Structure 1
Amino acid sequence: MKHIRVLSLLLFIGILPCTAQLKVVQKSAKKTPVWVNTTQKDYIVTSAIADNIERAKNECMDNIRKYVIDAVAQNVKSSSESTINQESVNSGIVNFLDSYTYTAQTQSANLPYLTGISESKIEEAYWEKREDKKTKEISYLYCVKYPFPSLELKKLVHEFQRKDNEMNEKYNTLEEQYENITSVAQIDKAVTDLNSLIRYFFDDVRKEAARNLQRNYRQLYNEISIHEISNKLGCYCLDLQLRGKAIKVSQRPVVKSATLTQIRPEAEEDHWNIHYNSETCDPTEENFATITFKLGNKNLSQTFYIDPEQDKVKVILSKDVYLTAETKTDSTLTNISIRINLESKAAYTIDNITLNVPGLSMPLFIDNLNQTVSKGTQTVNIDYNGEVELLEKQNNRMNLLKGHLEIKNTEGVSKRIDFSLPFKANW
């Protein structure tokens, strides 16, 4: 309690009895109470002079808050000086004492143990209305006797240490979690929690550390990107990624499109499915949608394009068809190899092919092929096994080969594709 007594005496520097120059024109009691301008065990005794009685009373309450802050801080510093692992806390307390003494009102809202200080707890008060005989200026002296037993100080020190340790632990947890972010909600919560830590930390070291950590968390919003998983007609699948790993986002995205209808974003584990209807889309126009996520104070957007006919197998046959007979005579051909160039935007399976070749006695029927062709431009080789009659020698290679393909898409839907192409043969 040595520090408390010293601090109590400091509060009365500059508070002097009424001099001959001042005249007391009104006072709250006939005699000045004996406790005025003294120290009292288990009490805070303080005074203030102002040009308004309410202002003088408020200054007394500020003095009490300053007194309590200094008393708690001195005792916290004293009780933890020998603890090595509290070096950073002790540094903060020293900072606190140097820069915070007698200016506590600017940050008092951040210290929870001050909330119980109230005018209603003042045990005794005394005031005087004074007049300067020379200038006729009026001033007020206000004195209070406020109970502050040693047990109350111990409780406040305990509460301060509990709160301070709690805030330190919260900061340490947020610092550890920074390297293992699994959701956008985790970033949002960290930014919010760090606001309370920045408000609470009274020393520059921890306050600046909390500010830096909050800046780092906010920067994470800029590092998140949208990653396409699949783009199938009717459903666009995506996830959000941070540092190359999927990150959950619970906030529903905004999806806008001029041509797609019935748009419905749906969350599934760590990714999103954007369902839509493309029946009204014109395949000759650009059809796309823009997805926007709100991340902190920034918008993250991505546009995806769709081909409304991508599930419809659209096969284009191009260039020449090459026909090569294994053996030939003047009248017959045996085992013909057929090479055709095909182009499609989707994979499919060729079931059957029929070729009407000029100069042959009959069409070439090749059934049960079950030949899978991937999307893109492909050269397909098909064999006709058997013998076919050659009606006459072909000299005019400007004739066109006609025929059709029977194909099936990945959904099992069959389609016939007719074609007419130039061809080259080795007979």
Structure 2
Amino acid sequence: MSTTGLSLAVDGKHGSSEPAEELRSRIDAAVAVAEKFADIVDREARFPKEAFDELRAQRLLGILLPQACGGEERCVSDAAQVCYALGRVCSSTAMIYAMHSANVACVVNHADRHERFEYYLRRIGAEQMLLASSTTEGQNGANVRSSASAIIRDGARVSLNRDASVVSYGLAADAIVTTARRSPESLPTDQVLALFFKDDYSLSRTVHWDVMGMRGTCSEGFQLEAAGESEQVLSEPYERIHRRTMMPVTHLLWAACWSGIAAGAVARAQGFVRKVARAAKGNLPPGAPLATQASLSLMNLIGVVESGIADYSARAKDDAALDDMAFQTSLNLLKVSASELSISTVMHAFNACGISGFRNDSEFSIARPLRDILSSSVMINNHRILANVGASCLVGGVPETISRAR
């Protein structure tokens, strides 16, 4: 475990022959730009364009794509490292990268194996496209496993008209992956996933984004009208895509992002304690024990995330292992525990810094990380997850033994 990064990530062994140091240097270049513009992105609640221009220039938007499609065939652990590194300096940039990477993982892992979809993947890689998603609709809130709008088929063409209540960074994206009912006759839970490129759709804003944190994600609502080729609709049921890729990868990358935010706050708390101790000839400030508590909490948080990534990586090629109810429950609970741990870690750092952490104009300000990290408990509300897990446990019962770690 490390408080400076996720130890599973960037190991240079995932399809790319690039040494780990070179990938780290590319990440560092993007982090430097994200840090430079983080305050203005937050203040103006605008998309972090400069950071994503650099991520695109460093070809970090396609690291999960196959090499044949302009990517590097890297694993979720590498994407998690990017999320963690960005989270230390700009929460919004990290969260957008996390959501983009989960969308890429979905289209890569569940792509239909025909030439037309291979062309779509090559286009995404060549242009280093940024992928957004629309999985919430109308009054459904965070119930991503139900859709009202349906795919309409007309020969070789498809269309969709959707009340997309939340599309993060929608106006800045190059493509959108969206859920929908398979057909007008389908049940709301009989869903598919469709990939539409920017020239396939229009967005009419219905909900603005004026919030306390994660302001640069620009998670606005839109009326989405899209039309494209029938091949742009994945044939695999979304239920499977959600269970095997969308939920696990999203929760892991969100958790990596939150770990990075917490790490950035802890670094400020440690810097504050060192500065005060130097000025006081070695006498520690009252907040020093809280800085230690923040560091311990961060180590626990990183351990949770690394364990989740290791478990997912071990199961990634085994559909039965991914479908296992205990694994599904563990990934849902990981989201909750990572959220709660990250919030408590940032709060410890905040209290360690005292009034310096409270001030917006202090070099040790924890204001932005604290506002941003509070979003973690309401991005798919923790109470909703716990209620769903509770219902599953009632059906599945309590295990009689502790399973051997995989």
By percentage of residues, which structure has more helix? 2
Q: Fold match, TM over 0.5?
A: no
By percentage of residues, which structure has more strand? 1
Rg larger in 1 or in 2?
A: 1
> Which TM-score applies when normalising by structure 2?
0.19
Larger RCO (alpha carbons 8 Å, 6+ apart): 2
